[in-house]
Amino acid sequence: MRNKKVFIKTFGCQMNEYDSNRIYDNVSNLGFVKTEDQANAECYILNTCHIRDKAKEKVYHEIGRIKKLYRDKKKPIMIVAGCVAQAENDEMLKREPYIDIVIGPQAYHKINNLLKKHELKKKQEETEFDTISKFRYFDKISNNNNKISAFLTIQEGCDKFCHFCVVPYTRGPEYSRPFNKIINEAEQLIKNGAKEITLLGQNVNAYSYRENSKEFRISNLIYHLNQYSELERIRYTTSHPKDMSEDLIECYSSCKKLMPLVHLPIQSGSDKILESMNRKHKVEDYIKVYEKLKKINKEVEFSSDFIIGYPGETKKDFEDTYNLIKKIKFINSFSFIFSPRPGTKASKLDMVDENIAKQRLTLVQEKLFNNQIEMNKSMENDIIEVLVENKMKKQNKFFGRNKYISPVIFDGVESHIGKIVKVKIQTSNQNTLFGSVNKNMKAA
Ligand code: SAM
Ligand code: SF4
Ligand code: F3S
């Protein structure tokens, strides 16, 4: 079969990135080959995100741009995948005739059939939540990702229904993949050269798989992966404070490869707002988890997600969030103004004044960015461990990450790629550390 080119553009979270790679593993069996040239593809896949803002409009805008790119050429097969596809389903086909296929996140096992049927020039839509069949299908297709740092989805969907969030509607109910299938896939990734694996799930620490009356939890996966000598680092994201169980906390003392950055979204520092968000935990519960983790492993640092200007957020509620950030000194965090999402409970509530929300976001981000700057500054002149991912495209430098996932750019050599090397940090800014590998410093 003649090779046909496919271009995949991915928006949103790491789970979408993982999905895009798996979609590619699948369509490559039909003879599609990935291209970096978006203006010359036979198939164009937009893997979309619905989490905030005008997600739907952004997709139509993007398609308008693609139309222009192909104005004088043969139109590519246009596929819209991901969370906007799930939320909008056949509405998209009605509104934008340029789209050929709309496919939701739990239907990716059907994409090859849809592509084969496309020859009939039919518009097609697949948005059924068929998570079990999807993973059974993909378990038989090897994961060809050969990145040093690889993602591995272990859990999908969400049953928590926070009042602001679309994920339960776009990804469907919680599902945990079988333990042995995850391990098989991890072994493929390690064979392909992965030195770091990030376990993924919308509620990753709620992972629970039962077989022969034994329950496997995320802690079991971490212990198991910790044994592979070729694997250097383990991470997981995104977790919920309610599911930070003792066995998972214990991993931070027993599993040397589990990285000490705990990304644990709290959203707000006010119990009143947490209750209105339906978060099912209090600030105090969160602080207890923080204290336990700090006690068990002094290297642990926290990062988080914050929603600012949630309906009903008063000056006092906001100050509670601000003070929590001062107390915990979060690094590497994300903060957003509340965005009302169609179909969610919070979208029916009265919004906080836009200017006030913006002012609050600025204050929070200043504080978070300062924490990050201070953290990075504290590493200047230190020798730190960096997992080297690649050579940079535009400069003769190398790129890697420290244990807290911060980017490190340094002078190195090709043979450092895929290794943990010791880098002396010379300077830093808010986002990045800069340094060089000393020739006398052997890779750790
Ligand atoms: N499962 C994770 C948890 O429980 O925290 C969050 C996953 S969600 C994909 C990622 C982040 O998007 C959330 O932590 C939240 O801060 C943000 N987010 C979700 N819905 C939002 C909304 N309507 N407006 C603003 N931010 C939102
Ligand atoms: Fe969304 Fe996370 Fe809440 Fe689930 S737990 S509804 S994914 S914010
Ligand atoms: Fe976005 Fe869907 Fe991920 S809405 S954040 S792509 S789960």
Output the CA 159–ligand 2 centroid distance in Å. 8
Pocket of ligand 1 contains residue 264 by CB under 6 Å:
no
pLDDT for the residue numbered 120: 66
Q: Which residues pair with 153 in a beta bridge?
A: 200
As a whole number of angstroms, the distance between CA 147 and CA 277 comes to: 37
As a whole number of angstroms, the distance between CA 238 and CA 199 comes to: 9
**Nearest of 134, 226, 233, 213 to residue 183 by alpha carbon:** 226
Q: Which residues pair with 7 in a beta bridge?
A: 44
**Nearest of 105, 104, 97 to residue 122 by alpha carbon:** 97
Output the CA 83–ligand 3 centroid distance in Å. 6
- Listed as ranges, residues in the chain with pLDDT below 50 are 443-444
Pocket of ligand 2 contains residue 63 by CB under 6 Å:
no
As a whole number of angstroms, the distance between CA 325 and CA 319 comes to: 10
Q: Which of 49, 88, 160, 175 to mutate to test the pocket of ligand 3 (most atoms within 8 A of CB)?
A: 49
Output the CA 165–ligand 1 centroid distance in Å. 6
Residue identifier of the C-alpha nearest atom 1 of ligand 3: 49
Residues having CB closer than 6 A to ligand 3 are 12-13, 15-16, 49-51, 82-83, 166-167, 170-171, 202
Pocket of ligand 2 contains residue 269 by CB under 6 Å:
no
Residue with tokens 């993924």: 200
Output the CA 119–ligand 3 centroid distance in Å. 30
As a whole number of angstroms, the distance between CA 322 and CA 36 comes to: 42
As a whole number of angstroms, the distance between CA 436 and CA 441 comes to: 10
pLDDT for the residue numbered 443: 45
Direct distance between the N- and C-terminal alpha carbons of the chain, in angstroms, rounded to an integer = 46
| φ/ψ (deg, to 5) at 85 | -60, -45
Would you give the DSSP letter of residue 267?
Answer: B
383-437: CATH class: mainly beta
Q: Which of 13, 20, 52 to mutate to test the pocket of ligand 3 (most atoms within 8 A of CB)?
A: 13
Of the ligands numbered here, which is closest to the C-alpha atom of 268? 1
Pocket of ligand 2 contains residue 26 by CB under 6 Å:
no
Residue with tokens 């839509």: 125
Three-class DSSP category at 126 = strand
- Identity of the residue numbered 32: F
Fold match flag (134-371 vs 383-437): no
pLDDT for the residue numbered 119: 76
For residue 400, is it left (φ>0), alpha (ψ between -120 and 50) or beta?
beta
From residue 131, give the alpha-carbon distance in Å to each of 21, 86, 172, 174, 199.
17, 13, 8, 9, 17
Buried b (16+ CB within 10 A) or exposed e, 141-177: eebebeebbbbbbbbbbbebebbbbbbbbbbbebbbb
Residues 4-128: name the CATH superfamily. Methylthiotransferase, N-terminal domain (3.40.50.12160)
Provide the CATH topology of domain 134-371. pyruvate-formate lyase- activating enzyme (3.80.30)
As a whole number of angstroms, the distance between CA 278 and CA 338 comes to: 15
Q: Where in the chain are the domains?
A: 4-128, 134-371, 383-437
**DSSP notation for 343-398:** TSGGGGSPPPPHHHHHHHHHHHHHHHHHHHHHHHHHTTT-EEEEEEEEE-SSSS-E
